[in-house]
Amino acid sequence: MSSFDAGAEKFADLSVHGLVDSHCHLDDAAFDDDRDAVLRRADMAGVRKMVLPAYTPRYWRRLRETCHRWPGLFPAYGVHPLYLEDRHGQWEATLATFLADAVALGEIGLDASAGAPDAACQRAGFTTQLAMAQQLGLPVILHARQSLEEMLLTLRRFPRLRGVLHSFSGSFVQAQRLTDMGFLLGLGGAFTHPRAQRLRAMAATLPAEFLLVETDAPWQPPHAHPGARNEPAYLREIIAELAQLRHTPVQEIARITAQNALTLFHLQDMS
């Protein structure tokens, strides 16, 4: 038995739904040469469902084709703040048509990093997409970089919205404000790094009912794979690290985070 197969035994008694990677980009060109093999490894690791958020209109069609071709892949469509100036036509009208078969609207948000698009452009695009999600009753997948306080204020204008803040790295207070509004927090490779002490402390203590696990593949690999292309099979390592930090059985963390994702994205009855 390989070490990979032996490790899988810890996950053998999960529910029929298996593990859920709540945020990965399997449609990305980084997987074009071996997507089938990546999906086989994910299946061996117990990852049965994956949510694939879009980030630019240029790749919405590619994302839809990827999700239609392979079972267990579920699309979310939106315009990431770093791509809001890439209008690719009138994306608002096109987005509405793609959302007909989406499990969420995203990845959307605010980004104040160097070189990001104009802040006013970002705010307009963000609020437009939040309004669409609220009207359609879809959860949102959020991105915030150096802008979480402004995002929190904006979300208060949309009280019926629910969703997840992907790759959460804020404070305990900000986490509480998000969960008070009904939002979940996505944890991935970043918290597995030993030097990420503040994030690890939050991962150990945040209420489990508000946590999702994600890989963000092909980016943000866990600590054991520095510089590697990330992939959904590594979700098992993220769950194991979270379980260790929380002094909780791996199977319990896997079950809770999978159920959280199934509920948020309404995946229970989907194949």
What is the token pair recorded at 133? Answer: 């999600």
Over residues 239-268, the mean pLDDT reads 97
For the chain, the domain total comes to: 1
Tell me what pLDDT residue 12 has.
53
Does any domain span residue 99?
yes
Does any domain span residue 212?
yes
Looking at every residue in the chain, the average pLDDT score rounds to 93
Report CA 83 to chain centroid distance, whole Å: 18
How far is it, in rounded angstroms, from Cα 4 to Cα 129? 41
Does any domain span residue 9?
no
Q: Which residues make up each annotated binding site for a divalent metal cation?
A: 23, 25, 107, 143, 166, 216
How far is it, in rounded angstroms, from Cα 166 to Cα 107? 8
| 183: confidence class by pLDDT, cuts 50, 70, 90 | very high
What is the token pair recorded at 158? Answer: 């949309």
Task: Report the CATH number that the domain containing residue 195 is assigned in CATH.
Answer: 3.20.20.140
Over residues 44-53, the mean pLDDT reads 98
φ, ψ for residue 253, nearest 5 deg:
-65, -45
Question: Is the omega angle on the peptide bond into residue 107 within 30 degrees of 0, that is, cis?
Answer: yes
Tell me what pLDDT residue 250 has.
97
Domain ranges, residue 136? 21-264
Does any domain span residue 2?
no
Does any domain span residue 5?
no
The secondary element (H helix, E strand) that includes residue 5 is helix 3-8
Question: Is the omega angle on the peptide bond into residue 81 within 30 degrees of 0, that is, cis?
Answer: no
| 269: confidence class by pLDDT, cuts 50, 70, 90 | low
Percentage of the chain lying above the pLDDT 90 cut: 90
Tens digits of residue pLDDT in 64-117: 999 999 999 999 999 999 999 766 557 999 999 999 999 999 999 999 999 999
DSSP codes, 247-271: T--HHHHHHHHHHHHHHHTT-TT--
Tens digits of residue pLDDT in 104-154: 999 999 999 999 999 999 999 999 999 999 999 999 999 999 999 999 999
Dihedral angle, C-alpha 37, 38, 43, 45, nearest 10 °: 120
Burial class (CB in 10 A: 0-12, 13-18, 19+), 253: buried
Sole residue written with tokens 């994302």: 63
Dihedral angle, C-alpha 55, 61, 64, 69, nearest 10 °: -130
Q: Which residues make up each annotated binding site?
A: 23, 25, 107, 143, 166, 216
Percentage of the chain lying above the pLDDT 70 cut: 92
Give the contacts of 31 (CB within 8 A, at least 6 positions apart).
Answer: 38, 218, 231
Helix, strand, coil in percent for the chain, rounding step 5: 50, 15, 35
Does any domain span residue 94?
yes
Tell me what pLDDT residue 5 has.
47
Give yes or no for a contact between 49 and 261, defined as CB atoms under 8 angstroms apart: yes
Give yes or no for a contact between 96 and 132, defined as CB atoms under 8 angstroms apart: yes
Over residues 33-49, the mean pLDDT reads 98
Does any domain span residue 26?
yes
DSSP codes, 112-130: -STTPPPHHHHHHHHHHHH
